[in-house]
Structures are given as C-alpha cells and as structure tokens.
Structure 1
Amino acid sequence: MAKPILDDELWALIEPLLPPPKPRRERYPGRKPLDDRKVLTGILFVLQSGIPWEMLPKEMGCGSGMSCWRRLRKWQEAGVWDRLHEVLLARLRAAGRLDWSRAIVDSSSIRAVGAGPKTGPNPTDRARPGSKHHLITEAQGIPLAVILTGANRNDVTQLLPLVEAIPPIRGKRGRPLSKPRLVQADRGYDHDKYRRPLHAAGITTQIARRGQPHGSGLGKTRWVVERTLGWLHNFRRLRIRFERLAIIHEAFLEIACCIICWRQLRKA
C-alpha cells in the first residue's frame, strides 16, 4: 500500500489550527466546500512533486488546482503554518530534540520564472530573476525560521531579521526559548554593524572574517544548515519559484519547514 501524503497524526495537529468555514446560507447554500484534508493533500502533492496547479490529478479528490491555491493563500494569511511550526518546535523541545547551544544561518538562491514581489536579479545567475531562501536552524539543523527575499539582497541584511523571526519555543515549564546563545555564519555575514545588536542582546557570534584565509573551523558545526537547505530543495516546488505572489511561495517554504520538523519529531 502506498504511503499516504498526509498521515493521521500530522493531520490531527493541523486540523485545529485551520480557520472555520464560512457559515452557509439556508436558502441558497451553494456548493458544499471541499474537505480540508483532501485540499491539503493536493497542496502537499504540488509541493513535493513540483507539478503545475492545473495538472493536479482529479482522481485525488482535492478539487481543482485553483481551489487548492485559494485555500493555501487563505491559510497562509490566517497564519496557520506559523502556528503549526510553533507547535512542532514545542513538541521537539519537550522530547529533548532541540540543541539550543547555537543557531546557524545561511541562504540559497533559486531561479524565479517571471517577476513578482521578492524577486530580483540574481548575481550568481547572469542577473536572471531569482529569489533567495534565508534560513536559521538550531545546532542539529532543525529549521527555526525562514525568510524569502529577492536574489539580489545581501545575506547579512537578513541576519537580524532571522534571529528576530525565531518564534517563542515552549514545551517545558518556565520561559519559552527565543534567543539563541550563539549565532554562527560564513563570511557573507561579516559586518560589525550587524554583530553589535546581537552582542547587545547577549548573543555571541562566530562569523568568519572577510579577507582571512579559509579554514576558520566553522564548517565542522555549521554544515547542518546547508543540509537543511538541501532538505528544503528536496521539495521540488522550492527548487524554482513559479509563484508570482510571494505569499504562496512563502507558504510552501513554511510548510516544508514544518514537515522537516515533523520528520525529526517522528525520530524522537
């Protein structure tokens, strides 16, 4: 039997977070809305396979691709995936699966088909339109936050926003985790202007210096963020940005981070 795209345990976490459907009129109720689980299954199929929305198989029972697209936008605007990410991080912490000794940041550029918000000329791809995924993980590579920008944005400009985007992580008694002890990064993040606010907040930094020979030793610990970027791009819809609306691509990014967290939780 084929492995289901959306297993029962993960659906049990997602279902309470979804906004309730609009009440139907008694006299002219209209068409019955599609089942949320079937629609989410279609969304996950597009994310994992990379197929266009209009090629979504009708046999899956999830309606048209446009119906799934609209529901994905609605759920993203309602903050469903942000809340799911917080729930999963809390469960990982409760299971002792989070290593809070350091956080690591990195980014990866992808090609964008056409223009749109949060795209820009990619300096590594002959100035073709592109976007950039900025990621921060804990010491084992579990994603803590992700940001989408144009491919022409310098990595260092997203260092502080990434740290600030880490949600409060509960799961144990006491204060939630929100501020890492140490942030590591490659020389693309080397700028004292961005180090100082982190130091003022009590966060130590280990960032390779520009102009210095390679061999800082950070590669022994910060490779995990590159592995997580590889995990993200195993979701084929994230390898090339086809969405003109940034909110749809951001939704795919956040869902992928949630799935990675869920897979790590299943290993606990």
Structure 2
Amino acid sequence: MGASPWIVSDELWERIEPLLPRRERRFRYPGRKPLPDRQVLCGILYVLHTDIQWEYLPTELGFGSGMTCWRRLRDWNKAGVWQQLHEVLLAELNAERKLDWSRCVVDSSHIRALKRGSLTGSSPVDRGRAGSKHHLITDGHGTPLAVILTGGNRNDVTQLLPLLDAIPPVRGRVGRPRRRAVTLYADRGYDHDSYRKQVRACGIVPAIARRGTGHGFGLGVYRWVVEQTFAWLHGFRRLRVRWERRADIHEAFLKLACCLITHRQLNSLC
C-alpha cells in the first residue's frame, strides 16, 4: 500500500522547508516548544484531502491542534510560501522541458460558499446561492500556471488578463524567464473581441471559441486539459465546497493544491 496522501515526502519537504519563515526564539519566556513545521503541514494536508473540520483534526496522529494548523496555514500563505513553492516547481519542470509553452488554456469552476464571507457572490448558475469561482490557467499538459479566487457572480472574461498577469516568471532555462505561451485557448464564455485584441497585444495568439458554435466543437481537443486539472483540484475534498469565511484561507488551500499537482507532474510527465 502507498503512503497516505497527507504524509509529506522527503523530496517535497526539501523544497518546502527553505521557504518557511523562521520564528524568533524567545529566551526569557520560551513557553511550550512549538510543534515541528513538517508535522503541522501533514495536518494541513489531512484537512485538504479529507475536508474534516479543524476542531476534529485527530491529534493522536501527531498533527497538533486544528488551531495550530490553521494559524500556520494563515501565516505561511501571508508570507507567500505557496507562491514561492509553485515558482520553484515550475522552474524545475521548465528545466526538464516538461512545460508545454505552445499553448495555455483558461477556464473557471464554481463552488458553493455555505458560510459566505469575502470574495463570494450570488451565482447565476446555482439559483443565486452564494458561491465563489476558481479561475485557472494551465499549460498544454494541464500543469497549473496561475489560479485566482473571485466571487461566484464574476464574469469569466474579466479574469482573462489577470490570469495572464498572474503567471510568474518561470526560470530554469538559459535566457530570460518565460511568462507567455504561444496560443491561448478558451471556451465561448471568453468570446469578446476587445479581449482578443488585448491578448494579441500581449504577444499571444487568441484561440477563443465563438458563440453559436457547438459545444466541444473544434477547440475542445485542446481545452480538455484544463477540465482535467479542475478534476484534480476537486479531488482535494476541501476545494469542492468553500467552508472558510476568510478568502485568504480558502486561497491558501487552492494554491497549496496547485503546488501538489505541479509536484506530481514532475514525476508523471515523460
């Protein structure tokens, strides 16, 4: 049997540990010794995979309390740990020529936000219930390049350029870091000529489906990779429904999941 998915492998920990912020040691009133970061990260991954409530996190597994894990997740996200980790992993993929820069693909997915909170809105596709959207851009293999969280009432096309801008400079090869693919594929929800012009101005060829064309017609042969990546993201049960009122906590889970998928790509792509 394989290891539990919430166990942090040595290979992954070697990439994460240098990115974690260092806590200053208190000598006058040291208090209780803090739980090691690696054990806390296992607890965070346990919540991400199982969708268990923080207060019910099983301490007998060595994760520490749910509040300890919640605080570290908050602090690490604020320090930009997941963004830095994602850039490190993308650079490794780029160095091994495992990123497909010939095309990138964008799409979004709606989830319910049962406790509302920031970055939620009445969803037109879910009877006006409160929800949020995950906006995603991937390379031609389905590797996440950037992700954005918005309210459920936000139009998909408004996040097209922010997604392109959110792609970090990807290093790993000789020359300038790369941020742009050759062609951008999107479905009919992004069919606006003004946005096509702006995409062209970025040096990218827009391949956006026109309204009135059949679903899956033509461009679907290239766009399916982003739907596959959404399936991977929602394989993490915590991302299927938004329980967090605070947008930064849900965003932290979202970015961490993208890092895990990108790390998986290092070993799965030939």
**TM-score, L = length of structure 2:** 0.96
Tell me whether 172-181 or 9-18 shows the greater mean CA deviation: 172-181
2:108, 2:60 → 1: CA distance?
37
Q: Which one is further off, 33-42 or 3-12?
A: 3-12
Give ranges in structure 1 of 5+ residues lacking alignment: none
Find the aligned partners of 1:214 and 1:241 in 2 and give their Cα distance.
29
How far apart, in 1, do the equivalents of 2:97 and 2:46 lie? Answer: 31
Please name the residue that 1:44 is paired with: 45
How far is the alpha carbon of 1:2 from its aligned partner? 5.4
* CA distances 1:217-251 after superposition (whole Å, capped 9, x unpaired): 00011100000001000000000000000000001
Partner of 1:27: 28
Q: Which residue of 1 aligns with 2:13?
A: 11
Which is further off, 203-212 or 164-173?
203-212
More divergent stretch after superposition (1-10 vs 27-36): 1-10
What corresponds to 1:165 in structure 2?
Answer: 166
Number of aligned positions between the proteins: 267
Partner of 2:126: 125
1:251, 1:114 → 2: CA distance?
17
Match of 1:234, SS? coil
2: CA distance, partners of 1:158 / 1:210: 19
* 1:60-91 alpha-carbon deviations (Å, 9 max, x no partner): 21211011001000000000000000000010
**Structure 1 residues 98-141: Cα deviation after superposition (integer angstroms, max 9, x where no partner):** 11000000000001112211101111111111100000000010
In 2, the alpha carbon distance for the partners of 1:200 and 1:134 equals: 21
Aligned twin of 1:236: 237
Partner residue, 1:84: 85
Query: In the alignment, is residue 137 of structure 1 matched against residue 138 of structure 2?
Result: yes
Q: Secondary structure at the match of 1:51?
A: coil
Aligned AA (1:46): V
C-alpha distance in 2 between matches for 1:250 and 1:22: 27
Moved more, 58-67 or 222-231: 58-67
Give the secondary-structure state (helix, strand or coil) at the position aligned to 2:135.
strand
Deviation at 1:151, TM superposition (A): 0.7
**CA positional deviation for 1:33:** 1.2
Unmatched 5+ stretches in structure 2: none
- AA aligned to 1:18 is L
Shift of 1:57: 0.4
Instruction: State, as a whole percentage, how many aligned pairs show the same letter.
Output: 64
Name 1:203's counterpart in structure 2: 204
Counterpart residue number, 1:256? 257
* CA distance in structure 2 between the aligned counterparts of 1:32 and 1:213, rounded to whole angstroms: 61
Q: Give structure 1 regions of 4+ aligned residues with deviation exceeding 6 angstroms.
A: none
TM-score for the superposition, normalised by structure 1? 0.97
Taking only aligned residues, the RMSD between alpha carbons, in angstroms, comes to 1.2
Mapping 1:164-203, distance limit 5 Å: 164-203=165-204
Mapped to 2, the partners of 1:78 and 1:212 lie a distance apart of 45
Mapped partners of 1:244, 1:128: distance in 2: 15
Say which SS state the counterpart of residue 134 (structure 1) adopts.
strand
Q: Do the aligned partners of 2:101 and 2:180 also contact (CA within 8 Å) in 1? A: no
Give, in whole Å, the separation in 2 of the partners of 1:10 and 1:41.
12
